[in-house]
Amino acid sequence: MKAHNVKKIVVMHAMGVGDSYGSLNFLMRLVVSNSAMGGQFKDHDETDKMIRREGADGSLQWVMVRPSMLKGDDKLPIKELGDQGAQASFMPSCSRASVASFMVDAAESDKWDGHTPVIVN
């Protein structure tokens, strides 16, 4: 990204990636740790580490959005649960349109730079 003068990246991960793993309910933690989904989360974790490492010198701004389960298409109000997803309900969800809108907002502002906001509807 530095070679192409990219100054900011906004990435969609998932609730449960990185330090938000503890916010998943026990059933989802079981699924993630005992299914192919675990490999996907491991890849997201590695991407998280790489982006943090590349941005450590301040030359790259980043936001890694962690939406809860994608469900529905209508844009609905977003509720942010911090970087770890504190106080998430048992089976939270977030619409695709809501995630897309949040990611555009994150790209256009600096409000979430350096954060991993967990979002739900």
C-beta of residue 95 within 8 angstroms of C-beta of residue 76 = yes
Q: What pLDDT, in 10s, does the model give residues 67-87?
A: 999 999 899 999 999 999 999
CA dist 23 and 43 (Å) reads 19
- For the domain spanning 2-120, the CATH number is 3.40.50.720
The count of C-alpha atoms lying within 13 angstroms of the C-alpha of 59, restricted to the half-sphere facing its C-beta, is 9
Q: State the Cα–Cα distance between residues 13 and 66, nearest whole angstrom.
A: 5
In whole angstroms, give the CA distance from residue 111 to residue 33: 32
Q: What is the pLDDT of residues 3-51, one digit of tens each?
A: 888 899 999 999 999 999 999 999 999 999 999 999 999 999 999 999 9
- The answer to whether the CB of 84 falls within 8 A of the CB of 113 is no
Task: Give phi and psi for 114, each to the nearest 5.
Answer: 75, 15
- What are the domain boundaries of the chain? 2-120
**Residue 55: what pLDDT?**
85
Put simply, whether the predicted model's pTM sits higher than 0.95 gets the answer no
